[in-house]
A and B are shown apart, each in its own frame.
Chain A
Amino acid sequence: MLKSRAELSGQMVGLTLAGCWRRLPPPSDLNSVGLEEIVPLLQISGAAALGWWRLSHSNLAHSTSAETLRGTYRLNTLQAKITQNAICEVVDHLRSVGIEPILVKGWAAARLYPDQGLRPYGDIDLCVRPDEFESAGKALEDLGDRRYDVDLHCGFESLGGGDVDEVHARSRIADLGNTKVRLPCAEDHLRILCMHFLREGGWRPLWLCDIAAAVEALPEEFDWSYCLGNNRSRSDAIICSIAVAHQLLGADIDQTPAARKTRDLPRWLVPAILKEWGSPQPSMSGRHRAPIASYIRYPYKILRGLRDRWPNPIEATVGMRGPFNDFPRLPFQIGSCLARAATFATRFKQTRREH
Chain B
Amino acid sequence: MLFERVSIERVIDRTEALVAILLNASTTVKGFEMRDKAQQIVPCARKARLVVQELPDEVLVYDLDRHKAHCLNKASALVWKHCDGKSTVGQLRALLEEALGTATDDDVVWLALGQLRRFHLLEEESKGFGMMKVTRRDLVSKYLPAALALPLILSIPSPAAAQAASCRPPGSACTANAQCCGPGGVGVGFCSAGVCFTNPP
Contacts and interface: CB of A to CB of B under 8 A. Distances in A.
Interface of A: 43-44, 46, 48, 71-72, 74-79, 81-82, 120, 122-123, 149, 151, 284-285, 287-291, 293-294, 297-298, 347
A74 B197 contact: no
Interface string B143-171: 00000000000001111111011001111
9 contacts: A78-B61, A81-B62, A82-B165, A122-B164, A149-B172, A284-B171, A289-B183, A290-B198, A291-B192
Given A288-B171, A289-B197, A289-B199, A74 B69 contact: yes
Given A78-B69, A288-B170, A120 B161 contact: yes
A342 to B, nearest CB: 16
Nearest to B193: A291
Given A75-B69, A82-B165, A297 B198 contact: no
A298 B195 CA distance: 20
A122 B168 contact: yes
Contacts of A298: 201
Nearest to A116: B53
B112 interface: no
Identify the 5 closest CB pairs spanning chains A and B, nearest first: A294-B201, A288-B170, A291-B192, A75-B161, A290-B199
A79 B161 contact: yes
B200 interface: yes
Given A285-B171, A288-B197, A79 B157 contact: no
A78 B51 contact: yes
B55 interface: yes
Interface of B, helix, strand, loop or mixed by DSSP: mixed
B172 A291 contact: no
A74 B60 contact: yes
A293 B161 contact: no
B172 A72 contact: no
A165 B143 CA distance: 66
A289 B164 CA distance: 16
Given A78-B60, A78-B69, A287-B170, 16 more contacts: A43-B160, A75-B158, A78-B51, A79-B164, A122-B168, A122-B169, A123-B172, A149-B168, A149-B173, A151-B173, A284-B171, A288-B171, A288-B196, A290-B201, A291-B197, A347-B193
Contacts of B55: 77
B161 A44 contact: no
B86 to A, nearest CB: 28
A48 B172 CA distance: 20
A243 to B, nearest CB: 27
Contacts, number: 90
A112 B165 CA distance: 22
A46 B172 CA distance: 14
Contacts of A291: 190, 192-193, 195, 197, 201
B89 interface: no
Interface size class of B (residues with CB under 8 A): 35 or more
B83 interface: no
Contacts of B200: 290, 294
B71 interface: yes
B161 A76 contact: yes
A226 B90 CA distance: 65
A134 to B, nearest CB: 15
A81 B53 contact: yes
Nearest to A287: B171
Contact of B165 (A71, A79, A285): A79
Contacts of A297: 201
Nearest to A121: B164
Contacts of B165: 75, 79, 82, 122
B156 A74 contact: yes
Contacts of B60: 74, 77-78
Interface string B174-201: 0000010001000000101101111111
B198 A288 contact: yes
A82 B197 CA distance: 25
A293 B197 CA distance: 12
Nearest to B196: A288
Among A72, A75, A81, max chain B CB count under 10 A is at A75
Interface in B72-124: none
B170 to A, nearest CB: 3
Nearest to B199: A290
Contacts of B196: 288
Contact of A75 (B162, B168, B193, B197): B162
A291 B200 CA distance: 8
Contacts of A290: 190, 197-201
Contacts of A149: 168, 172-173, 179
Contacts of B62: 78, 81-82
Nearest to B179: A149
Contacts of B168: 122-123, 149
A294 B191 CA distance: 12
A254 B173 CA distance: 37
Contacts of A284: 171
A101 to B, nearest CB: 15
